[in-house]
A = this chain, B = another copy of it.
Amino acid sequence: MKYLASPTPEEALDALNGAAGSIKKRMITIVGNCKVDYSGRARSFLDYGERLVVVKADGTVMVHGSEKREPLNWQPPGTTVKYVMDHGLAIEAKRTSPPETMRIHFMAIEALSIFQLHDGAEINLIGEEADIVDKLEKDPSIIEEGLRVMRREKVTNSGFIDLYCEDKDGVTVIVEVKRTSISPNAVYQLEAYLVDFRKKNKLAKARGILCAPRISEMAKTLIVEKGLEYKQVDYEFELSDKKQSSLESFD
C-alpha cells in the first residue's frame, strides 16, 4: 500500500507511472479538486470541485461526489487509463466500443493511494426473480390450484417467457413473474406475448397471469382491460446453511 498526502503533481505522476504503478492488479484512489470532461454516448462537463476518484484494476474509473450511490462521471470496465502531466495531474480514460473518452484534471491533490485487493470470495445472493420462478416451478399451485408447468423457457420467437403452463382444464397459461411491483410495461409485454402466441398457435384461449408481490393501480386497470390476470405472490428466501448470514443476531 502506497499513500501520499498532498503530493505535488509530479510526485503523484511518479507514483502512478513509476514502480508502484507497475503493480498489476492495483486499485487507485485520489481525493482532490478536479474537473471532468466526458464525450461518448452523451457529453458532459463537470467543473472543478473536490471528489473521490477511484481507478480499478479492470479499467473502471469512477468520480464520486459527496452524495448518491452513482458516480458523477465514470468509465466502465475495459477502459484504457493513462496518467499525464498537463499543468497538473490529468487522467485520460478512453475506450473504443462504444468510443468514449473521459478526462479528469486535478487542480489539487489531497491524497493518493495505490494498493492491491486480494479477494477470493464470491457473493451469494438470493431473492432474485429467478429464485421466485424456481419456487413457482416447484409448486405451481401457489399460483392456482391444478396448474401444471409444461416448460420453463428463456426465449421464444415473440420474446421471453418465465413459465409456460396448463390449467386444470388444459388451457395454456403464460406466467410472467416480477420480483417487485408490476408496472404497465410488464402488462404490455405479457399482452404482446399472448397476442402472438394465440395467433401462432391458432388458439382462441390462452390465459396470461402476472405474478408479483405488488401491482400499481394503472397496471391493474390495464390487466382487467386486456383480460389478463394478477396473482399476488409473496416470497421468503434463505441463504444456504453453509453460507449462513450472521444477521439473525443483528438488532
A5 within 8 A of B: yes
Query: Would you give the 0/1 interface string for A8-44, flagging 1 where the beta carbon is closer than 8 Å to chain B?
Result: 0000000000000000010101010001011101111
Task: Count copies of this chain in the complex.
Answer: 2
Point out the residues of chain B lying under 8 angstroms from A128, CB to CB. Answer: 42
Q: Once the chains are docked, how many angstroms separate the CA of A73 from the CA of B25?
A: 21
Query: Would you give the 0/1 interface string for A125-137, flagging 1 where the beta carbon is closer than 8 Å to chain B?
Result: 1111000000000
A191 within 8 A of B: yes
Point out the residues of chain B lying under 8 angstroms from A64, CB to CB. Answer: 54, 56
Instruction: State how many angstroms separate the Cβ of A227 from the closest Cβ of chain B.
Output: 13
Q: Are B250 and A121 in contact (CB-based, < 8 A)?
A: no
Instruction: State how many angstroms separate the Cβ of A238 from the closest Cβ of chain B.
Output: 8
Select A77's contact among B68, B76, B191, B250, beta carbons within 8 Å.
Answer: B68
Stretch of A140-148, A165-173, A204-212, A240-248 lying at the B interface: A240-248
Q: Once the chains are docked, how many angstroms separate the CA of A119 from the CA of B58?
A: 28
Answer whether A37 and B123 are a contact pair too, CB < 8 Å, given A111-B113, A185-B189.
no
Q: Are B188 and A65 in contact (CB-based, < 8 A)?
A: no
Q: Once the chains are docked, how many angstroms separate the CA of A35 from the CA of B121?
A: 9
Residues of A within 8 A of B (CB): 1, 3, 5, 25, 27, 29, 31, 35, 37-39, 41-52, 54, 56-58, 60, 62, 64-69, 71-74, 76-77, 92, 101, 103, 105, 110-111, 113, 115-128, 159, 180, 184-185, 187-189, 191-192, 222, 237-239, 243-247, 250
